Amino acid sequence: MQRTIPVAHPPRRLFTAITERSFRYLTELLVDFTHIDNLYKIRNAQGRPVDEVVEMLPLAPRERGGGRR
């Protein structure tokens, strides 16, 4: 027989809050990314918007230490 964990149980409240915050953050991130002003914010040396990932690679900061995260 399986028992149901009450809605007000502390771990359930904790996981619910974490999940809601995570989805809210993800929603804001996606909305910000799709706004046209943010989509082409990265510029090349000539000041033109970068629209391909391959163009972004030389502009990215170099990783220090060479270790994996």
Q: What is the pLDDT along the chain (69 residues), one digit of tens a residue?
A: 678 888 899 999 999 999 999 999 999 988 888 887 777 888 888 888 888 888 888 877 776 665 555
* 3-state percent breakdown (helix, strand, coil) of the chain, nearest 5: 50, 5, 45
Residue 17 is predicted with a pLDDT of 94
Judged by DSSP in three states, 43 sits in: strand
The pTM score is: 0.46
- Residue 14 corresponds to which amino acid? L
Judged by DSSP in three states, 52 sits in: coil
